[in-house]
Amino acid sequence: MMDLLIPDKLHDESRQGEALLLEPISDKNNGRKLYIESYGCAMNFSDSEIVASILLEKGFETTSDYTVADVIFINTCSIRENAETRVRNRLKEFTIAKVKNPGLVVGVLGCMAERLKSKFLEEEKLVDVVVGPDAYRDLPNLIEQVDSGQRAVNVLLSREETYADISPVRLNSNGINAFVSIMRGCDNMCSFCVVPFTRGRERSRDPQSIVKECTDLFNQGYKEVTLLGQNVDSYKWRKPHPALSKGEGSKKSEVEVLSFGEDLGEANEPVVNFANLLEMVAQVSPELRVRFSTSHPKDITDEVLYTIKKHDNICNYIHLPIQSGNSRVLELMNRTYDRDWYIDRIDAIRRIIPGCAISTDVITGFCSETEDEHKDTLSMMDYVHYDFAYMFMYSERPGTLAAKRYADDIPDAVKRQRLKEIVAKQQEHSFLRLQAQVGTTQKVLIEGFSKKSNNDYCGRSDQNAMVVFPVGENYKPGQYVNVFIERSTTATLIGRVV
């Protein structure tokens, strides 16, 4: 994987393998310690919080030291081969802990568990339990099964599970930004992607539970929420809200949901789409910043763009993966849009939200990609001038449509060369985009000390750029400040509070 200049936390390299630590629930303590570490995207980190919340309720307490744990869970990612290799290597490190404590339960969760299912138990003798992303409620039973001497697997995918009623506990976060899962799974079948196989069909979470979670977070002092989904633009909630049948005494917020619904379908059920949901979350408080990811070029609507424009607290930043700038390659990737469509969406963003930051994902060296087609990706980058990008060489994943249909026929050296060109171009654009902000004043949410010095704070601008500025007595993490930008490096804006 090659990331570049990513002031983005969705796939945060520094968090890979991070252990989750939470306050125990004292009256429920069963004396057993849970160690859980996570890999991959923000969805996985968010899921680990759900897993920990389920087990805390059963009396577990978390530990950040796996050598003292009674249960070790590793929440895995399958998106690239090196992510899986990393997990397998990590499992080897748990062997000694298991020798010392034969009662130790070792479990594999998440996408890799779903992809390999019971094969995992055959391949990794250390592993006792394999659990897919839709089966976390079953974890207490599965642990009991292992305690009774069996190995356990639950990789059933669900059409309904959204864990809507489970409030994830986030005590090891900075208390300022939180991820909120709004949907699960994906119904797109991009030919390179394992997600539809590992995380199942798309389902949206009840908007009331999302608004409640965001409101609770705000009341606890959080200042920014990022709404998460594989394809947030296809968020759709159809079920009629119980407030429909309630008379007097219905809570105001429940009634407000209905006012966003269009009457669609035979049963006149209100439908809450992503634009409606964004608006509902934006209304929690003007002091709560709202971000979201990931958008899909085929689904992002002008209605969403106008909603962003309407609310100051919805950040002007959109992650819109292009993957390839060539229409034939996009068709092979089954992205269901072409170059012209993508350009139309970019034009709409620029027209409706001028100054909006745009980031992207690029896969280079996809099956049969020619040199000219690669150049189309470069020219698309020139057209958009992305603020930042995740850039990858194509890596074939077993079980995907591309693995079944197309030969992975671009030599590694060619893939590397193309990636190099893409990275060089992005570096140039990222620098230009940051340079353009020198001399402006940016509203920044302070997240903490900068990585390099305790004399400086860092935080993000509305457009998601990292901003560094001197610590001052009159402001602290969790507050908004206006920062005049004096200069930029290739990845950071530097300034002073005004």
Q: Is residue 190 within the footprint of ligand SF4 (CB under 6 A)? A: yes
Which region, judged by CB under 6 A, interacts with ligand SF4, from 54-62, 109-117, 193-201, 374-382?
193-201
Residues 4, 52, 193, 214: which binds ligand SF4 (CB under 6 A)?
193
- Smallest CA-to-CA distance from 339 within 367, 377, 372 is with 377
Q: Nearest distance from residue 151's CB to ligand SF4, in Å?
A: 30
Q: Judging by DSSP bridges, how do beta strands 129-131 and 152-154 pair with one another?
A: parallel
What's the residue count for the chain? 498
Looking at the Cβ atoms of 231 and 430, the one nearer to ligand SF4 is 231
Q: Nearest distance from residue 465's CB to ligand SF4, in Å?
A: 25
Q: Do 305 and 347 contact (CB within 8 A), yes or no?
A: no
Largest interatomic CA distance in the chain: 69
Looking at the Cβ atoms of 91 and 111, the one nearer to ligand SF4 is 111
Residues 168, 196, 229, 495: which binds ligand SF4 (CB under 6 A)?
196
Q: Which of residues 221-280 bind ligand SF4 (CB under 6 A)?
A: 230-231
Which region, judged by CB under 6 A, interacts with ligand SF4, from 132-140, 181-189, 409-417, 454-462?
181-189
Measured CA distances, 212 to 25, 179, 273, 292, 362 (Å): 22, 14, 17, 17, 35
Q: Nearest distance from residue 334's CB to ligand SF4, in Å?
A: 8
Query: Can you tell me which residue has the tokens 């607290």?
Result: 313
Q: Nearest distance from residue 323's CB to ligand SF4, in Å?
A: 8
Looking at the Cβ atoms of 188 and 209, the one nearer to ligand SF4 is 188
Q: Nearest distance from residue 49's CB to ligand SF4, in Å?
A: 21
Which region, judged by CB under 6 A, interacts with ligand SF4, from 183-191, 203-211, 302-310, 470-478?
183-191
Looking at the Cβ atoms of 188 and 395, the one nearer to ligand SF4 is 188
- CA–CA separation, 71 vs 350, rounded Å? 50
- CA–CA separation, 286 vs 303, rounded Å? 20
Q: Which of residues 72-131 bind ligand SF4 (CB under 6 A)?
A: none
- Smallest CA-to-CA distance from 330 within 316, 315, 344, 340 is with 340
Q: Do 466 and 493 contact (CB within 8 A), yes or no?
A: yes
Q: Is residue 181 within the footprint of ligand SF4 (CB under 6 A)? A: no
Q: Nearest distance from residue 386's CB to ligand SF4, in Å?
A: 17
Q: Residue count at the site for ligand SF4 (CB under 6 A)?
A: 10
Looking at the Cβ atoms of 196 and 270, the one nearer to ligand SF4 is 196
Beta-carbon count within 10 A of 85 CB: 10
Q: Which of residues 389-428 bind ligand SF4 (CB under 6 A)?
A: none
Residues 55, 130, 180, 186: which binds ligand SF4 (CB under 6 A)?
186
Ordered strands of the 224-228 beta sheet: 177-181, 224-228, 289-293
Measured CA distances, 491 to 291, 410, 428, 447 (Å): 20, 31, 11, 17
Query: Can you tell me which residue has the tokens 């208390």?
Result: 175
Residues 111, 142, 146, 195: which binds ligand SF4 (CB under 6 A)?
195
Q: Nearest distance from residue 184's CB to ligand SF4, in Å?
A: 11
Q: Is-cis flag, bond preceding 489, omega within 30?
A: no
Looking at the Cβ atoms of 195 and 330, the one nearer to ligand SF4 is 195
String of contacts with ligand SF4 for each residue 322-341, x by CB under 6 A: --------------------
Q: Nearest distance from residue 364's CB to ligand SF4, in Å?
A: 15
DSSP output for 79-146: SSHHHHHHHHHHHHHTHHHHHH-TT-EEEEEEHHHHHHTTHHHHH-TT--EEE-TT-GGGHHHHHHHH
Q: Which two tokens stand for residue 143?
A: 């642990």
Q: Nearest distance from residue 2's CB to ligand SF4, in Å?
A: 18
Which region, judged by CB under 6 A, interacts with ligand SF4, from 43-51, 131-139, 191-199, 422-430?
191-199
Q: Which two tokens stand for residue 319?
A: 């992650």
Looking at the Cβ atoms of 201 and 309, the one nearer to ligand SF4 is 201
- Smallest CA-to-CA distance from 10 within 232, 193, 206, 307 is with 232
Looking at the Cβ atoms of 129 and 227, the one nearer to ligand SF4 is 227
Q: Is residue 468 within the footprint of ligand SF4 (CB under 6 A)? A: no
**Helix 207-219 and helix 252-260: axis angle, to 10°?**
130
Looking at the Cβ atoms of 11 and 296, the one nearer to ligand SF4 is 296
Residues 289, 296, 418, 433: which binds ligand SF4 (CB under 6 A)?
296
Q: Which two tokens stand for residue 86?
A: 């990393």
Q: Nearest distance from residue 187's CB to ligand SF4, in Å?
A: 8
- CA–CA separation, 427 vs 386, rounded Å? 10
Looking at the Cβ atoms of 201 and 443, the one nearer to ligand SF4 is 201
Strand, helix or coil for residue 11: coil
- CA–CA separation, 278 vs 410, rounded Å? 41
Binding footprint of ligand SF4 on the chain (CB under 6 A): 186, 188-190, 193, 195-196, 230-231, 296
